[in-house]
Structure 1
């Protein structure tokens, strides 16, 4: 808090008000002057310590939030990323000639943990003579909840008799939540920093990729010789970028339909966008001692998964996920007292990453 806001509690303000009364006026608690001025002191204290404090906070991007941070983004021509719909492919088998209209809804089965997840077809399709067709689909609801594993989209919202089988051979991915305040501020801070250029250095490529929705970007320069650059991308969930995100980043940087909007330096003859190769890391903790009245091993594992994900950016920068960086995260989880062993991929060794590899969480087993 600024120094001019010191001494502004309700009690301090009221004491000063009472001190200003003439000597022959009663200033004892319960007296008429005391009771009449106390509400004013309370209101003034709230105005200073809450409303004025918040007004100062929203004036600076470092402490602004939500719609106020969005306004700071507008000052540097940045917009917060909205939640993204997952996309993928559904394979439909049935009688040749069966027509599936655009917007046909396919879905997973409902479970005890949640309702069915729905996906709409992007275009109309007709089953060919082979009896099977791949259809591009987009999740009805945006967010991470629309990311599903392979062979889980097996139903139609409105069944058709001529359809005999439905499945998604590959996972449907790319669904992300609305960009958080922390992530959006990081992008705003880059715009204010001196590291921003438009020459096509590594920082530029990373910034451009994130502007298009990438969660992170590995720059592989001159990968096929001079004038070539490859961007290895993950989405906002730390998973390999899907085709839609790869196309979005490429179009944002190259702008093939509008050369005036091109960000790619003219001297770069070729830009390639590729999905990252992920190195799955399994975490195991045994002999876990915790406050069982307020948490569970499952909740601790879930919190650990969020904490370790925040380390992956630094790990990628150094091309190593260090055991001694990950292990202390357990101490940051409320309720954890002690544990016997903690392992990454079955050992206590660091995990080395190749240039185009990105760490990803596999299984988290705490007991």
Structure 2
């Protein structure tokens, strides 16, 4: 906003106020006397510009952005720990029940047993919050001796851990809150409630999907892929738990009478085949890796957007923008076996399928 308020511009304005007959050349007494003031004024304008940017959600960041959201009751999401599944067996390879609260370690991380799912099958929570708890798998080592335990294995992710919400992620929720205010159980309210839960990156709400007072919420994870089963259940329990007298009783965030179903987003596979002309700077394998990554990023960017279809023309652009690709055979570029756009139904998400480059 104040890009033109530089030291040189300010200095010239100050010198213009000095009578012409006075020596105003650089190094003169007048110049030396005015220079510190001009530098301070430039710093002031820089601070004003920074404050101006921090006062608007589009350009704000950090604590200032979250302060803007606090005015609308929008709390930031803290980092959350991963919830994992662990399998435990004795020396006869039979399921073995370990004590609730026992701790196991792998890859420098500790996991605490929190709940029994079945014989020898338990939930474990990572002691370190964030996405780091989603990564390891395989053998677990008990921190304390457990008599009779032979093997302990860390397997699937039940609820993915999340890092502290980034500025961009918080900004998305801020604009959703401000531009489509959630009120009285409208669609925006259901989306807001879903986004408040760990492991949820976006939500699509379908009212009256199975008759009056029924709501279906389709859910994506932070990576804009279908949400995990644990996250889907957590959203259900938060919005409309099936407890006491059952669903639709207003025991959660949803108003009484609304029966809510939460599901992981159905997928539409995006299959691509093409014949490319390489520039010589990269191998075909490298080109395929980079193209696949670019296509995945594009699919994430259009997930649950107003126009979520995969455009055939866009596919060609992504291919040409891939390092190492000089050109491609337009007659052999195929999207799901054809040359038409691929439509993605509401609530569904496009995901990468088979990628074949020759």
TM-score (norm 1): 0.76
Q: Distance in 2 between matches of 1:289 and 1:313?
A: 35
Residue matched to 1:9: 6
Assess if the C-alpha contact under 8 Å between 2:98 and 2:146 holds in 1.
no
How many aligned positions are there? 341
Q: Distance in 1 between matches of 2:52 and 2:281?
A: 39
Instruction: Indicate yes or no: 2:318 matched with 1:322.
Output: no
Assess if the C-alpha contact under 8 Å between 1:209 and 1:249 holds in 2.
yes
Q: Distance in 1 between matches of 2:151 and 2:339?
A: 46
Q: Equivalent of 2:176, from 176, 181, 190?
A: 190
Residue matched to 2:303: 312
Assess if the C-alpha contact under 8 Å between 1:147 and 1:172 holds in 2.
no
- Residue 223 of structure 1 aligns to a residue whose secondary structure is coil
Change (3 A) 1:125 1:264: closer
Root mean square deviation of aligned Cα: 3.7
- Residue 92 of structure 1 aligns to a residue whose secondary structure is strand
Residue matched to 1:263: 253
In the TM superposition, what are the counterparts of 1:122-161 in structure 2 within 5 Å?
A: 122-123=113-114, 133-148=120-135, 152-156=137-141, 158=143
Q: Distance in 2 between matches of 1:320 and 1:7?
A: 43
Q: Distance in 1 between matches of 2:340 and 2:152?
A: 43
Q: Equivalent of 1:272, from 248, 261, 276?
A: 261
Offset from partner CA, 1:320-364 (integer Å, 9 cap, x none):
33333444345677x677442666556654333345532234577
**Structure 1: runs of 5+ lacking an equivalent:** 108-115
Instruction: Indicate yes or no: 2:51 matched with 1:65.
Output: no
In the TM superposition, what are the counterparts of 1:99-248 in structure 2 within 5 Å?
A: 99-100=98-99, 102-107=101-106, 116=107, 118=109, 120-123=111-114, 133-148=120-135, 152-156=137-141, 158=143, 162-168=148-154, 170-193=156-179, 195-213=180-198, 214-248=200-234
Q: Distance in 2 between matches of 1:27 and 1:336?
A: 57
Q: Distance in 2 between matches of 1:34 and 1:300?
A: 58
- Using the TM superposition, give the Cα deviation of residue 156 of structure 1 relative to its aligned residue in structure 2, in angstroms: 1.7
Change (3 A) 1:287 1:312: farther
Assess if the C-alpha contact under 8 Å between 2:6 and 2:42 holds in 1.
yes
Change (3 A) 1:39 1:229: same
Assess if the C-alpha contact under 8 Å between 2:319 and 2:325 holds in 1.
no
Assess if the C-alpha contact under 8 Å between 2:205 and 2:217 holds in 1.
yes
- Using the TM superposition, give the Cα deviation of residue 175 of structure 1 relative to its aligned residue in structure 2, in angstroms: 2.5
- Using the TM superposition, give the Cα deviation of residue 53 of structure 1 relative to its aligned residue in structure 2, in angstroms: 0.3
**Structure 2: runs of 5+ lacking an equivalent:** none
Q: Distance in 1 between matches of 2:114 and 2:239?
A: 27
